[in-house]
Structure 1
């Protein structure tokens, strides 16, 4: 029997109406990374998504991104370590307020998009983000790219880090994600994405685009909630994981 956390980026649409796809995804995943209004979402969507996650017992995390809704936070642009600190602190505070009022508890932080990748490869940015979390609430977990600089920095600061793999992303031979500007970045074949997820759990690693095996200690797998077939893929993935005796559960420690 194996166990893995399945996390999903949610709350990325604006407005005050229930999002049926988000709600259905929350029935399948164990952790929710909720957009904090910068790259996507807004105050109303935060409140709705938090309530839906709490109803299902799904672990809640802040999902801070670059302040760039026009590009969904997926286009990198230079920021200083101080700006990274401010971006993350501001967005954690926003989500935490709604979680507290709803009677829940924020469990983790996971960066979004370009900010996630920039921080994963830059020690100074990693130190700024980790410091923001430590200053805000050192009991929070940080979800970070498995094997990245962010993982090392978080451990050095005594922060609990949950190492992450991606079901639908391809990897370079150094373990970084293939850039979204590359047409090979996304895995669109559902069978391939499921097989990669199973290997992450059972073999603790991924195969890069140039067929090199990259060993990684993967504790959580990310699926995306914004794709056209996000829900049906999540259903397929969870079904196949259970068939492989892989139990889905949020990180406890």
Structure 2
């Protein structure tokens, strides 16, 4: 049976109650990316998220971003490259210590928010971050946007890369994500979200934001955990994949 991964960014709340909400999503996904103190997250949320992920047998990864809690890592910070890499390393190491204390290991790293977008739109930044992760954390796979700069940088090193696709975002004709400022760049209804997720998982044709046909496949589908009905969406996505003979696993 063909397989597909479903990943979700979690541990981005502030309280134990937030982590309990995250845990409602976990039975329906296969991989989680846990905030590790940059844009969000603290020791308590990391420990609870790790424990919940372990109970649900999920692949666990670090989710570092710009160290900017005020703006939730959603704006670009002007940082020297060395300073930025130190911040990324500090976040990964922080979550890695929590995972080791639970006798678990991290499997991957996925950048967050503005840092994710900046790395995928800048060859220089993508290469700097990728080189650094491979050197400092060679055991971690890298997750990023399919057909973009981080994938190209990882390929140059023959390093494992998880190609990510988005069920609720439209794509440009060059396979890049349509900017949120563009009309119709976000898919708001569930049915077309499920259909695009299936097309990405199976490499079927779907439409770009301008209506042109696109066709490529991904390894993992991103589910946004901050949606108020995320558990319902996650369950329906899992059921949709099962109906189409897709096994969900990392």
- Give the TM-score band, short-chain normalised: over 0.9
Residues 86-107 of structure 1 deviation map (CA, whole Å, 9 limit, x = unaligned):
2321111111010011100100
- Describe the shift of the 1:182–1:73 C-alpha distance in structure 2 as closer, same or farther (beyond 3 A): farther
1:121 CA displacement: 1.4
Which residue in 2 is equivalent to 1:87?
Answer: 87
Answer with 202-211 or 106-115: which moved more: 202-211
In 2, Cα distance between the equivalents of 1:100 and 1:145? 28
TM-score normalised by structure 1 residue count: 0.92
Where do 1:42-81 residues align within 5 Å?
A: 42-81=42-81
Stretch of structure 1 that moved more, 219-228 or 70-79? 70-79
Alignment partners' CA distance in 1, 2:205 and 2:86? 33
CA distance in 1, matches of 2:204, 2:133: 27
Cα distance, 1:59 vs. partner? 0.3
Partners of 1:103 and 1:198 in 2: how far apart?
35
Which residue number in structure 1 is paired with residue 113 of structure 2? 113
SS at match of 1:247: strand
Can you list the C-alpha shifts for 1:23-50, whole angstroms capped at 9, x where unaligned? 1111111000001121122221011000
Q: 2-side partners of 1:106 and 1:97: how far apart?
A: 10
Partner of 1:127: 127
Matched residues in 2 for 1:99 and 1:206: separation?
39
Structure 2 portions without partners, runs of 5+: none
Does the CA-based 8 Å contact 2:203-2:218 persist in structure 1?
Answer: no
Instruction: Output the CA distance in 2 between the equivalents of 1:152 and 1:7.
Output: 21
Give RMSD over aligned pairs.
1.7
Residues 91 and 206 (structure 1), Cα distance of their counterparts in 2 relative to 1, 3 Å cut: farther
Tell me the alpha carbon deviations over residues 98-131 of structure 1, each in whole angstroms, 9 at most, x when there is no partner: 0011100100001111111110111111112112
* 2:166 corresponds to 1:153: no
Q: Which runs of no fewer than 5 residues in structure 1 stay unpaired? A: none
Sort the Cα spacing of 1:181 and 1:47 in 2 relative to 1 into closer, same or farther, 3 A: farther
